[in-house]
Amino acid sequence: MKLVFATNNIHKVREASEILGKGFEIVTPAQLGITEDIPETGNTLRANSLEKAQYIYEKTGLDCFADDSGLEVDILHGAPGVETARYAGPERDPMANIAKLLDQMVRREMEASFAREFGIETPYATRKARFRTCVTLIIGGEKHFFDGTMEGKIGRELYGNGGFGYDPIFIPEGRDVTAAELPEHEKNAISHRGNALRAMAAFLNE
């Protein structure tokens, strides 16, 4: 089965190909001559993934899927969320995003500490966070949604050279190293996107 994946990120394409396995051919928009930026104007991950998948389906008429992922940090009330890739600005600079995230978390931790000193009840500062992915699959015009999460916490310093985005500061639950320090196959086995893609693969193989 041929499926268009609404991304030109080689990491995502490789991960999807490995999870879907034999019998599936993953094609990128660029391979079909679609080189423009695919719009993502929604205010939720599902809305963005649907918008991207719908864009590809309307352009090509081919079965396709799209994903949108975000990092949710509890002390920041779920931010950066849908703004994950452009948290520090439209340039989508990973290092700038990480710097802003760590700075915002320190500010919230200080605010919580001051509040408690004055007897104001406030939740204890937490570094708990999660990556969340929503995948939209369009088959024969019908839409299907699959979700995946990876729980963990935010570290205070950057470690590791693998992965991308916030991986150098994200420590997956049950691990004592960041996602950037994990071998790619180990990270893919627990990742939010991997979990969503495995749910989609199970549906396609029913």
How buried is residue 61: exposed, middle or buried, by Cβ count under 10 Å (0-12/13-18/19+)? Answer: exposed
Contact at 8 Å (CB) between 145 and 162? no
Instruction: Compute how many other C-beta atoms are within 10 angstroms of the C-beta atom of residue 147.
Output: 15
Contact at 8 Å (CB) between 140 and 200? no
How buried is residue 149: exposed, middle or buried, by Cβ count under 10 Å (0-12/13-18/19+)? Answer: middle
In terms of DSSP H, where are the helices of 32-121? 45-60, 94-117
Contact at 8 Å (CB) between 131 and 194? no
Measured CA distances, 190 to 13, 29, 206 (Å): 17, 27, 22
Instruction: Please say if 68 is a catalytic residue.
Output: yes
Q: Which of 37, 63, 67, 68 is catalytic?
A: 68
Active site residue ranges: 68
